Amino acid sequence: MKYFIVDAFTDTPFGGNTAGVVLLEGNDFPNEGLMQAIAAELRYSETAFVRRDGESRYTVRYFTPKGEVELCGHATIATFSLLHRLGLADGPCRLRALAGELEVMAGQQVMMQMAAPHTIATIEETKEIYNALGIRDYRPALPVQVVSTGLPDLMIQVQTVEALNALQPDMEAIAELTRQHEALSFHVFAFADDGYTAHVRDFAPAYGVPEESATGTANAALTHYLATHGIIATGDHRFLQGEAMGRPSVVETRLKADGNVWVGGSAAIVAEGRLFV
């Protein structure tokens, strides 16, 4: 099996968010234990296993170092950017994932349709959530909610970008709270008048990912969340993530008139190799 290391949501190697991409050579996926072991060996937040099903049709499975997830935005951007570079995908493609069947536009800039957005829950008592981030006695203007465009994430507002970058997350507490609220991550955001829709940080320690430098699914969920609260309208939006990690990433989203959200960005191929398993 050939594998690649690809940095998504950046034009430059060693920026953005890194994913492993494994191109399958046959019609069958490896057994789950092997895919899990490969993801743990590569140690990136997600590794995508890609099977070509036909002309412009692909099935992709996504594994973190600790388990399989239904969808991953940055690994999808990495995958279809790679397929485009290899001459295997161009223009409209169909992606089948555990989250459902979605459309992807492959090219130098990849745009992917997300699963239908919806708000799952509103968290009334937020003290424990903010304490887990090292914040005391803060009541946000916007509610803490679990929102999904394929994966459920907690949307959490903090007061300023400075406060966002100064967070002192308790990873054990965050892992327990995400499990309690049946969410994948804490997706924490702040507004700034600098041309970005929001600055964000994302913590998913329950899945072996203390912090991610770019998360497509969570920023799609944030796009839906901000729209439902009247903060943004239809059109294109940009989220800056990864600053605190020294890997700044720009995640672009598109909110359509029908309420669906697309996520996009570019990617840089860093390395390739072969797995002898």
Domain that holds residue 140: 118-259
Same domain, residue pair 102 and 154? no
Q: Does residue 148 share a domain with residue 106?
A: no
Same domain, residue pair 246 and 130: yes
pTM, 2 dp: 0.85
Question: What CA–CA distance (Å, rounded) separates 84 from 64?
Answer: 24
Which tokens is 149 given?
A: 């465009």
Together in a domain, 252 and 270: no
Band of pLDDT at residue 158, cut at 50, 70 and 90: very high
In this structure, what CATH number is given to the domain that contains residue 189? 3.10.310.10
Same domain, 147 and 50: no
pLDDT > 90? residue 187: yes
pLDDT for the residue numbered 277: 86
**Pair (212, 181) in one structural domain:** yes
Q: How far is 157 from 145, CA to CA, in rounded Å? A: 10
**Which pLDDT belongs to residue 26?**
85
pLDDT tens profile 4-22 = 999 999 988 988 899 999 9
Same domain, 90 and 140: no
Average pLDDT, the chain: 95
Indicate which residue of 46, 211, 212, 252 is catalytic. Answer: 46
- Residues 133 and 64 placed together within one structural domain of the fold: no
Are 124 and 246 within one domain?
A: yes
> Could you tell me if 88 and 168 lie in one domain?
no
136 and 182 co-located in one domain: yes
Instruction: Establish whether 211 is a catalytic residue.
Output: no
Can you give the pLDDT at residue 12? 87
Claim to verify: residue 127 and residue 255 sit in the same structural domain: yes
Task: Count structural domains, the chain.
Answer: 2
